[in-house]
Homo-oligomer: A and B are copies of this chain.
Amino acid sequence: MTQPDMPTPPWERPPKRRTPARVPLTRERIVDAAYTVLDREGYDRLSMRQVAAELGVAVSALYVHVRDKDELLQLMYNRTFEGYEVPEPDPERWREQVMDFARQARERLLSHRDMAKITMGQVPFTPELLPYVERLLAVLGAAGLPRRVLAISGDMLSTYINGFALEESLWQQRYRETHTSWHKLRDEVNEYFASLPPDRFPNLVALADIMVDESNDYRFDLGVEIILRGLASYIGEPDPDEEGKESGEG
């Protein structure tokens, strides 16, 4: 796609084109290149120099458009959730709506290698993402959650989603570094748990087959479901007080 950068022959007057040959550098193009590098090299090797090389440009040129590497990461973070769709709140279907929200978020986090690592380094409330937080709160609010539960539920869900995705990418990294196939790593971890001394680790041994062997999709969904049930249990209750430890449902 890139124009080969050949010198103009002396006999041919360079055309005075209004459109410059060099596509001008923009934030958009820089973020694009950053994603390319991220997917190819991974987070640890995502450097300003690599991004510049990807664009065929000097490193310092990037700093005209971007204050920091940190700012670049933030731009990537924002782009990942661009056009995120959160439905109109429907009190009847709030569970499915939240589940969809969570699945969509995870999908986007996994759509680029190591994206979760970038997300985790970012304070979760950037202006660009506020609309999505707002809509999630609308969905949860329509379900009838008490104020205080509502206030932390958004944070909670995103913490879980990000944490889960991060763990996934950590496993992927380990697999990339040491193994040839993901199944092989999974089997080995599986075996490892199963081979622990049963007298000291009865539970880990007993659960070895499903601790790792279950599909990540299933484990993710079940985790969200657990949170959903927890949230649902507050519907109709008054706001929990400062010592929110009791209140039955055992």
Please determine whether A244 and B221 come into contact, CB atoms closer than 8 angstroms. Answer: yes
Please determine whether A223 and B156 come into contact, CB atoms closer than 8 angstroms. Answer: yes
Interface residues on A, range: 35 or more
Distance of A196 Cα from B138 Cα, bound (Å): 15
Q: Is the interface of A mostly helix, strand, loop or mixed?
A: helix
A159 contacts which of B167, B174, B225 (Cβ < 8 Å)?
B167
Whether, in the assembled complex, A214 has its beta carbon less than 8 Å from a beta carbon of chain B, the answer is yes
User: Which chain A residues (115-144) contact chain B, with CB distance < 8 Å?
Assistant: 120-125, 130-131, 133-134, 137-138, 141
How many Å from the CB of A177 to the closest CB on chain B?
Answer: 11
Please determine whether A226 and B149 come into contact, CB atoms closer than 8 angstroms. Answer: yes
Residues of B with C-beta under 8 A to A228: 230
Residues of B with C-beta under 8 A to A152: 214, 219, 222-223
Whether, in the assembled complex, A227 has its beta carbon less than 8 Å from a beta carbon of chain B, the answer is yes
Whether, in the assembled complex, A58 has its beta carbon less than 8 Å from a beta carbon of chain B, the answer is no
